[in-house]
Amino acid sequence: MLDDQALMQALNSTPVTDGRRRDLWREDHGVDGWAREHGGLGGDEERRWLLTARDALQAVESGTPAEPRLRRVLAGVRRVPRPCASGIEWHLEVPPERRLAVELVLAWADVKERMPGRLRPCENPECRLFLLDRSRANTARWCSMRTCGNRIKARRHQARTREAPRSG
């Protein structure tokens, strides 16, 4: 099964660079490398399912409905318990080309259940990245304090400086 890190890699595969949105999974089939790194085979069908799952999860986390796409990814999937030496292990029954896409959706569902309210988009309106807030107070607002956080704070400071009356 995919973990939180794999989920965040997938969600953050469409960064904004120099003011333009990039899709790292469409450029030179970057998704195939990600898939192989996580036990996939690569290839057209797996790529299509992964892009569908990733795009649907990004939409949901950005506040856009994506139920039909998620329903399509999960259609006919079953988790079946099997006895093992340590008790029960759950086996996913899904066509091989759809397995990673389903695991991506399940990793997202797991994070939503274990860490409610902690997965969210960066508050920088020019950023397309997501963050998983692991802070105790759950107050993180930016994907990165060094980049987005500093930019937003600098803009606010400049705006206050322009608005402040000049003495003298």
Distance spanning both ends of the chain, measured CA to CA: 65
**Average pLDDT rounded to a whole number, residues 23-33:** 89
Query: pLDDT per residue over 54-90, tens digit each?
Result: 999 999 999 999 999 999 999 999 999 999 999 999 9
Domain ranges of the chain: 4-118
pTM of the model: 0.85
* pLDDT higher than threshold 80 for residue 160: no
Q: What gap in Å lies between CA 40 and CA 34, rounded to an integer?
A: 8
Largest CA distance in the chain: 81
